[in-house]
Structure 1
Amino acid sequence: MSRSTIDYRPFEPPLPPGRARAVPWMSVLGGSALTAVLPVVASLALVPPLGLLMLLTWRLLARFALRPWAAAPLGLFDDLVSGQPLGSAVLLWSLCFIAIDLIEQRLVFRDFWQDWLIASGALAFCLTVGRWIALPLGAHVDPVLLAQIMIAVMLFPLSVRFVAWIDRKRGPAA
């Protein structure tokens, strides 16, 4: 007797609406906090911005899970826990949300590859401009920045799987 891997329980009660709305916020906050507390000892900052990755994934995968203004308070939290200059993630994450809205006005339908391309551009933009805001221009961190961008871009499919799993668990009430 083989066991199906499909998790289909039509009569399981969904999360209450308040908790279902809080799940995307908590996952982005958790991603930002996880980046700050990972026990990685390295002379190079190769840890990708997991909070930004989760935010972009929620915005691209479940459009109405986060309000358009949600990027600002979530970016403020990320600035506080990551040590970036205060307001940099607020500005950059809000600009990413605006850019995604503009792209969505042009594209009627998107698939996974287009979402990955949009997220890659947003990740590269935020990491590059964040580097210009946080470090002097004479600092030689360009190879490390490229590696960090590549790691973040390659983690996007895993982030999509994780957010889709969370979104399925929170139910249709959200």
Structure 2
Amino acid sequence: MIDRHLRHVPRLGRYPSRFRLVGTPVVTVMLGSIATALPIIAQSPILPPFGLLLLLSWRLLRPELWRAWIALPLGLFDDMMSGQPIGSAMFLWTVTLIGIDSVEHRLVWRSYRQDWLIAAAAIIFCIAGGVFFARITGGANVRLLLVAPQMVWTVLLFPFVVRQCARIDRWRVMA
């Protein structure tokens, strides 16, 4: 007699949990935002905004997953973790997702290179907007040239982050 705990349980016809489907992308973006709070000492910003990278990766990988309003709570969490003025990531991320929505409505199909170009424009917009918000809220002499290496590094890191999101997505939809 076979013990019922040792029997093979088929995965056909089973569905992943609701939290796994909906919560996994949100949790990964929040973990990416927490990564900016790591105690790394540098004279200039070098750490890419992982929360933004993960948000863009999920949005471009799975367009049906989120609406543009999701950027408000995730941006608030990122603002609290990164130390940026409250509302800066909320505004910049929401404008970015609305912009991506408008670009998607104009394109019939997208290729990997177009996704990378869309993400590069969004990354440059969000980092430059973060510098703008830091300057108008009393940030000392923050220059755009100072964050240029961070922009380049973040744009070059985007394909790796998309690949990791695709791996997580495979696990997320698996029963």
Instruction: Name which of structure 1's ranges 14-23 and 93-102 shifts more when overlaid on structure 2.
Output: 14-23
1:114 and 2:117 equivalent?
no
Instruction: Name which of structure 1's ranges 59-68 and 102-111 shifts more when overlaid on structure 2.
Output: 59-68
Contact 2:128 / 2:144 at 8 angstroms: preserved in 1? no
Alignment partner of 2:16: what SS? coil
1:143 CA drift (Å): 2.9
Gaps of 5+ in 2: 1-9
- Equivalent position of 2:3 in the other structure: none
- Equivalent position of 1:18 in the other structure: 19
Contact 2:74 / 2:90 at 8 angstroms: preserved in 1? yes
Call closer, same or farther: CA 1:42–1:96 in 2, change over 3 Å.
same
1:27 and 2:24 equivalent?
no
The TM-score, its normalising length taken from structure 1, stands at 0.87
Contact 2:135 / 2:142 at 8 angstroms: preserved in 1? no
- Equivalent position of 2:77 in the other structure: 77
After TM superposition, the structure 1 = structure 2 runs for residues 28-67 of structure 1, keeping only pairs within 5 Å, are 28-37=29-38, 39-67=39-67
1:107 CA drift (Å): 0.3
Aligned residue pairs, count: 164
Q: Which of the pair has more CA radius of gyration?
A: 2
Residue number among 151, 167, 173 corresponding to 1:171 in the alignment: 173
The TM-score, its normalising length taken from structure 2, stands at 0.86
Instruction: Name which of structure 1's ranges 61-70 and 150-159 shifts more when overlaid on structure 2.
Output: 61-70
Give me the whole-angstrom Cα distance separating, in 2, the residues matched to 1:92 and 1:165.
27
1:64 CA drift (Å): 1.9
Give me the whole-angstrom Cα distance separating, in 2, the residues matched to 1:71 and 1:83.
17
Amino acid at match of 1:87: G
Alignment partner of 1:36: what SS? coil
Gaps of 5+ in 1: 1-8
Amino acid at match of 1:163: C
Give me the whole-angstrom Cα distance separating, in 1, the residues matched to 2:102 and 2:19.
29
Contact 1:24 / 1:66 at 8 angstroms: preserved in 2? no
Q: RMSD of aligned C-alpha atoms?
A: 2.1
- Equivalent position of 2:144 in the other structure: 142
Amino acid at match of 1:79: D
Q: Deviations over 1:22-49 (max 9, x none)?
A: 0000000000001112x32111111111
